[in-house]
Every structure is written in structure tokens, then in C-alpha cells.
Structure 1
Amino acid sequence: MTLPPVSLSPQRPPLVQPIVAGLITALVGYTASFAVVLTGLKAVGATDSQAASGLFALTIALAICAFALAWFTRRPITTAWSTPGAALLAGSAALNFGWNEAVGAFIMTGLLIAATGAIPWLGKILASIPVPLAQAMLAGVLLKLCLAPFVALSTIPLYVAPIIVIWLVFLRLSPRWAVPAAMGAALGIAGFTMAQSGNVVSAHELLPTLEFTVPTFTVAAFSGITLPLFVVTMASQNVPGVAVLASFNYETPWRSSMLATGLGSSVAALFGGHAINLAAISAALAAGEEAGADRSRRWIAAASSAVFYILLGLASASITALATASPEGLLEAAAGLALFATLGASASSALSDPRSRMSSLVAFLIAGSGLSFAGIGGAFWALLTGLGLRLLLERKMP
């Protein structure tokens, strides 16, 4: 009897672990913030169908970018939609931009992101914006949305209180799943209210669709949406995303990453998406030990997350229908809970340095006030005022 040959090469670990890590990355990334995206898109004029199209377009765009970057670089590079950017849009409702203007602003945001990869000096200008100031602007933008859960407690307490309780329980037992659990509870309540009201949604309305929008380009939308959205996305998503990967000893190819996400953002914008970027928080799920002990195969986690994102994107119309049927304020409350951690981190970073605390504090208050002047929202004026105060009061401080 002939014995089978003995292999002297070590057996490679199975692909199950990186694929499961990819699934978790997609689930956490999608469920933790889809409500923020829908809230932001509707705030700048999107109808329900346009918001659903935007959510679907973002999901497809980030999935394609993540798969391509992971495949060609063999690194666990994951992408996400700009959650802080969506929160910024939610605070821009008072500016009354038309949806076509908003889409034009989204396209310009994507082009600016791509330009930071193609034009080195533009990246240097961005890097010159003080981090505490950018974080202060972001914290101010998030403030109103993070107050939504407590505002909703006074108007729809029977619906919101269970969501907050579920969020707190998971925050204690499994923090990673606290926000997805709260979002799931919100969708469950929305489904219950839809059934109670007798609203019937046809099967056709639950199919994901891409709705093209003709963009309109205006100076007001560029100042009020494009510039703040660009700064927030770069400072709060792309730069931290690079840092997260670096903490796991992976170098991010800056040029190709910015070109891919920037151009992907501009294409998605034609169908209602606001911006995609390098993942920050969820990036650790694909780059860390959860994706397997073999570092050379962790890119599979990022690539598989792209596949799972597409599957989740197919539910975008159904999720939007449930969100639309939910009691007023419920979706905003769930979105606010999703942003608590981001607000805390941003406020801490903004006020941590005593030498720049005054300019950061003023920027935070202006961004959070809802100020609108000359058709431009508070985020832009917060950044401009903060830079002015920094030059006037703080540049000579030791």
C-alpha cells in the first residue's frame, strides 16, 4: 500500500476568521450609522426615495472602493460613508438648500478629496488646519443631533425609552454592539407602528433603486456644504483612518486611497450620496487580531466586508420605508445615540490644549448654535472665526 506524501509546508489557516471579521465590519459600519445618513440627506432636501437612493449609492461606492483597495494593495483597507459629514448635513436644514444644490456640493466634495491625492500642496493646506479647531467644529455640528434622544423623551417617551435602555444594557455588556442594537430596536418599533397604522408598502417600493439627480453648482452650497463637509470628512475620517491602520503596522497608500474615495464620492453623489472615506473605527475590526493571526491575509476581511456591504445595501429601500413610518423624532434619537462616542472624542480633542482652548470653544459654540449668515451655515463660520481668534489671541502664546 502506497502512503500519501507528507507535506512539509505549514498549513495555512482557514479563511473563516477574516471573512467573519469582514461580516462584523460591515454589520457594525452599516447598522451603527445608516440613520444618521438618512437624517442628513433628508435635512438638505432629499425625498424618501432620494434618501434611499443616496444610502444605496454610498453602500455600493464604498464597497467597490474597499474591495479594489484591499485587492490591489493586499492590505486591510476598509471604507465607510462620512458619518460626521451626514451629521453636518443634519444641521444644515435651516439653510434651505435645494436638493440639486446639495448634490452639486457633494460632487465638489468628492473632487476636493480626490485632489488631495493628486495635488500634494492641497494636502499640505489641509494639514495646516489645526486639529483642535476641526474637532471643535465637528463637536458643535454633532451637538444638536446628540440632544435628540433627550428631546424625544419629552415627546415620544414610550418609544424612545426602550431604545435608550437597550443601548445602555449593550454598552455595559458588549459596547461594540450597543449602537447596532439600538438601531435594531428603532427599526423594530418603526415596523410595529407601521403595522398598527395599517400602512402597506408594495414589494416594488422595497426594491433598491438608484435615482439620478441633475446637480446644480452654487457658491452658497460650496461654502455652506462642500467646504465643511470636506474638512470634517478629512479630519474626522480619512486622517484617523490612516492612523488606525498605522497602529497595526499597515501603511495606507494615500494617493490611491484619496483618488478612489474622492472619485467614488462624486459618482455616488449623482445618485444622492454625500461622501465616502477611509474607515476609522471599523477599520480596526479588519486590521486587528479578529481578522486572523496571519497578517498577510487580513486584506481578505476588508474585501469580504465589501461583499457584505452590498448585501446590506440591497435593504436600503426597506430600511428607508421603516424609518419613514417611524414616529417623528425616533430616527433622529437613534442617530443621536450613534454619535455620542464621536461627540465625546471630538470635544475632548478640541479642548485638551489650554493654548488653543478659547478659539476651539468659540468654534464649538458657533457650530452648535445653528448660526446662518449670508446663506452659509455655522460650520463654515465656526472654522473661519476659530482661525481668526487663533491668529489674533493665541499665536504668541508659549
Structure 2
Amino acid sequence: MAKSPTFTTAHQPPGQSRLDSRPIVAGIVTALVGFTSSFAVVLAGLRAVGASPEQAASGLLALTVAVGLGVLWLAWRSKVPVTLAWSTPGAALLATSGAVDGGWPAAVGAFLATGVLIAMTGLVPALGRLMARIPATLAQAMLAGVLLQLCLAPFKALGTVPLFIAPVILCWLLMMKLAPRWSVPAALLVALAVIGISLAAGGSSPGDGEILPGLAWTAPAFSLQAMAGIALPLFVVTMASQNVPGVAVLRSFGYDTPWRPAMLVTGAGTAAAAGFGAHAVNLAALSAALAAGEEAGPDRHRRWVAGFTSGFAYLVLAAFSAALVALVTAAPAGMLEAVAGLALLGTLAGAVSAALADPEDRIAPAVTFLMAASGLAFAGIGSAFWALAAGLAVRLVLKPHSPGAAGLPGCTSARRVRGFGLRGPVR
């Protein structure tokens, strides 16, 4: 039997709430914002770890379908406006990791392992407690270091393709002033327009066969380098930057997240779609507020419809994923990374702020940040792993008696969302 969300505010009369179209509109907007603001990051990440254009298109399609189906199930069963997304910080991590030993099949194996770890977090409370002991400042510092190179891309592109990227940056800046939520989608539309004009001027166009959605299966391979360099950092980043904040967003609007079902659905969805190139599915964080907030209508009992509708919207968007991949693949060099960098500027700013929030604990996060940003690869393992290891070592030397963080949802009797730097509701 599904549990009703916990809140005290009275809801609208049933006849009025059921005629309200705002939950449906909010669900469509949630999917549009979530998809358009970060699909460029996903493509950049998959290509960086060895995916061909066809495999990257398959990965985006598999992610979109997994997100849509997962949201439909969770929202319907829980009657809570829970929404899902792909791991945008995780995709940024991939974009800076580069190819690992074993190539694309090894990366697919790491995606599969990530899905298993996410599912186990819902099944095994001890794993959640272990994850929550990773200091929030180090997790955020690692994320900030990973994001740095990608966030530099828009400004580097100004020196190579200024006529292409300048309109995109100006549109993003203007929309940040007028409607921040739509800044990245608007910048993407300008980028697509610029790419289209460039293709038309050059007399070329994307191939007809490339605009039809299709899945490309890759048998996973497993290597120590991929597990340490991709799977573990991807798991940490996804939990710290997506799943735990997603719980906090829902709680700030008076809803309890169905933690165990959500981890099982997202973990199983990631594992099932990994062979098709999907890197990680998780709870939505920032876009979750669109489905759980006032935009979804005054009746809190009916806001789950917004989450449910977003699932349908994602399935519709899946049909256009291949066409978008074909278009951005034809873009000038650096254009895709530039759009991805603009999409992640806000995430970078938040990660840096969280990493350095404690004035008595800044050296270890600084080391973690610099190590992650350096791009150091040793023994075939990327900088994200070594950054976290170095930060933990420095913190152990400087603060040997520091207590661990509190547990993840479902790991304590009070079911509190703490650890990973969450000190209050996230709006």
C-alpha cells in the first residue's frame, strides 16, 4: 500500500484539484529542464571515455528511457512527487577521466558496477553508513576539481571559435538575469541555431540514418583501473551530489522520499541500461523542486502527478535524442564542451563553496581539489580516485580524531538526511 506524503497543510477540495492542469505542466517542464540543461554534459562524458557517436547516442537514449520508466513506477507507487535524472556530475567526471585500460567496454563495466553499488545502498544500510563517513568537504572538493576543466571550456572556446560561442555565452548571461532556470536551455537553443546556420552555410547536414533513435549493445569488461578510476568516483559523486540532495529537496517541501525503492529502481535501471551506454540514474536534485513545489499546484496530495508526467515527457524526449546527438556531433570543435561547461558553472560554484565552508578544514579539501583538477593518472587510474585518497590522507594527518558523518536516509532510526554537507533544506 503506498504511503501518503507527510505534511500538515490542508489540500484543495478533490473536485478542484483533479481539474488542475498545473501538475501536468510542471511535470513537462521538469523533464524539459532536466533534459535540455545537461544532455550535452552526458554526450561529452561518454565520448571522453571511448564511446563512438553511435554509442554515445545509445547511452543518452538508454538513460532517458531508464529515467522515464523509473519515474513512472516510483511516482505511481509512492504517490510522492519523486523525480529522477541522470548523474550530471558523474558525466562531468567522465568528461575529465579520459579512456581507461580496456576502452569503452571497461567503462561500460564500470557503469554496471556503479548500478550494483547504488542498489546495494538501498539494500545494505552498512554500505550507506560507510558512504556517509566520507567527509562532505572532500566529496565536494573532488567534484569541484573534476568540473574545473570542463567549466573552462566556454572561455577557451572564445579564443578558437568566438563567433560560435559568444552568442551562446551572451544568451546564457542574459537569461541568468531574467530567468535563471531557463538559462542553460536557452543557451542550448542558441547553440543549436548557430550549429544549424553553420551547417547550412557549409552545405552539409546530419545523415538521415543518424537521426533515428537506436540502442547499441556493448558487452561489459572489467578492469581494476576502470573500477577505481570510474566506478568508485562515479558512485561517490552520484550519491553526494544527486541522491542525498534529492532527498533533502523533497523533505524541504514536506515529503519523505521512498529511499529503498528509489535506490533499487535507480540502481537496477543503471545496471540494466549500462550495456547500452548509460552511466548512472539517480534522484533528481535541483529539478525536483519543479515537481514538488508550488509550480505543481496548491494541492500537495496531487503533486505526485507532476513526477508521473515527467516520466512520460522523458519517454517522448527519448525519441529526439538521436537527432540532437547528430546535430551536436556536427558542431565545430569545442562547441559541445562549451555548452556543457556553461551548464555546470552553478554546480562548480556550489561545490567550491561547500568544500571550503569550514575555515578549520580547508587544507585537505584544497589538496583534493587540486589533485582532481590536475588530471593526474597513475597506474591507469584517473585523478578523481587519487584526489579522494590524497584528501583523506591529509585529513587523517591534520585531524586524526575527527568524527565521521551521519548516515544516509534509511541508515539511522531517525532517518535524517545529514552528511555530505547537507545542513538544511535545499531549495
Give the TM-score of the pair, scaled to structure 2.
Answer: 0.89
Q: 2:50 aligns with which of 45, 52, 67?
A: 45
Decide which moves more: 334-343 or 196-205: 196-205
Cα deviation, residue 354, structure 1: 1.6
Partner residue of 2:186?
181
For 2:204 and 2:106, locate their aligned partners in 1 and report how far apart those are by CA, in whole Å: 32
Q: 2:384 aligns with which of 375, 379, 387?
A: 379
For 2:157 and 2:95, locate their aligned partners in 1 and report how far apart those are by CA, in whole Å: 16
Q: 1:164 aligns with which of 144, 164, 169?
A: 169
For 1:275 and 1:305, locate their aligned partners in 2 and report how far apart those are by CA, in whole Å: 18
For 2:16 and 2:154, locate their aligned partners in 1 and report how far apart those are by CA, in whole Å: 51
| Secondary structure at the counterpart of residue 361 of structure 2 | helix
Cα deviation, residue 194, structure 1: 2.0
Tell me which amino acid in the other structure corresponds to 2:317: L
Alignment map for 1:134-173 (pairs within 5 Å): 134-173=139-178
The structure with the largest helix share of the pair is: 1
Cα deviation, residue 96, structure 1: 5.9
Across the aligned residues of Structure 1 and Structure 2, the Cα RMSD in angstroms comes to 1.4
Cα deviation, 1:196-240, whole Å, max 9, x if unaligned, reads 222243433211001111110111100010000000000000000
Partner residue of 1:362?
367
For 1:278 and 1:397, locate their aligned partners in 2 and report how far apart those are by CA, in whole Å: 30
For 1:244 and 1:216, locate their aligned partners in 2 and report how far apart those are by CA, in whole Å: 36
Confirm whether residue 351 of structure 1 aligns to residue 378 of structure 2: no
Q: 1:285 aligns with which of 274, 282, 290?
A: 290
Per the alignment, do residues 397 and 273 of structure 1 end up closer, same or farther by CA in structure 2, a change over 3 Å counting? closer
For 1:199 and 1:331, locate their aligned partners in 2 and report how far apart those are by CA, in whole Å: 18
Partner residue of 1:252?
257
For 2:107 and 2:16, locate their aligned partners in 1 and report how far apart those are by CA, in whole Å: 53
Partner residue of 2:337?
332
| Secondary structure at the counterpart of residue 151 of structure 1 | helix
Runs of 4+ off more than 6 Å: none
Cα deviation, residue 397, structure 1: 7.5
State whether residues 26 and 306 of structure 1, in contact with CA within 8 Å, keep that contact through their aligned partners in structure 2: yes
Per the alignment, do residues 199 and 219 of structure 1 end up closer, same or farther by CA in structure 2, a change over 3 Å counting? same
For 1:93 and 1:395, locate their aligned partners in 2 and report how far apart those are by CA, in whole Å: 34
State whether residues 141 and 369 of structure 2, in contact with CA within 8 Å, keep that contact through their aligned partners in structure 1: yes
For 2:289 and 2:322, locate their aligned partners in 1 and report how far apart those are by CA, in whole Å: 29
State the identity as a percent: 59
Gaps of 5+ in 2: 1-12, 404-427
Cα deviation, 1:324-360, whole Å, max 9, x if unaligned, reads 1100001100100000000000000000102221000
Tell me which amino acid in the other structure corresponds to 2:305: I
Partner residue of 1:212?
217
Partner residue of 2:72?
67
State whether residues 45 and 97 of structure 1, in contact with CA within 8 Å, keep that contact through their aligned partners in structure 2: no
Cα deviation, residue 268, structure 1: 1.2
Gaps of 5+ in 1: 1-7
Tell me which amino acid in the other structure corresponds to 1:171: M
Partner residue of 1:92?
97
Tell me which amino acid in the other structure corresponds to 2:256: E
| Secondary structure at the counterpart of residue 12 of structure 1 | helix
Confirm whether residue 35 of structure 1 aligns to residue 40 of structure 2: yes
Q: 1:242 aligns with which of 231, 247, 271?
A: 247
Per the alignment, do residues 10 and 30 of structure 1 end up closer, same or farther by CA in structure 2, a change over 3 Å counting? closer
Give the TM-score of the pair, scaled to structure 1.
Answer: 0.96
Aligned length: 391
For 2:14 and 2:28, locate their aligned partners in 1 and report how far apart those are by CA, in whole Å: 30
Partner residue of 1:21?
26
Partner residue of 1:5?
none
Q: 1:274 aligns with which of 275, 279, 282?
A: 279
Cα deviation, 1:35-56, whole Å, max 9, x if unaligned, reads 0000000000000010000000
For 2:304 and 2:358, locate their aligned partners in 1 and report how far apart those are by CA, in whole Å: 37
Cα deviation, residue 93, structure 1: 1.4
| Secondary structure at the counterpart of residue 85 of structure 2 | strand
Cα deviation, 1:76-103, whole Å, max 9, x if unaligned, reads 0000000000000000116465010000
Tell me which amino acid in the other structure corresponds to 1:175: P
For 1:244 and 1:270, locate their aligned partners in 2 and report how far apart those are by CA, in whole Å: 31
| Secondary structure at the counterpart of residue 17 of structure 2 | coil
Tell me which amino acid in the other structure corresponds to 1:199: S
| Secondary structure at the counterpart of residue 282 of structure 2 | strand
For 1:105 and 1:198, locate their aligned partners in 2 and report how far apart those are by CA, in whole Å: 40
Confirm whether residue 394 of structure 1 aligns to residue 394 of structure 2: no
| Secondary structure at the counterpart of residue 208 of structure 1 | coil
Tell me which amino acid in the other structure corresponds to 1:101: A
State whether residues 194 and 322 of structure 1, in contact with CA within 8 Å, keep that contact through their aligned partners in structure 2: no
Cα deviation, 1:119-148, whole Å, max 9, x if unaligned, reads 110011001111111000000000000000
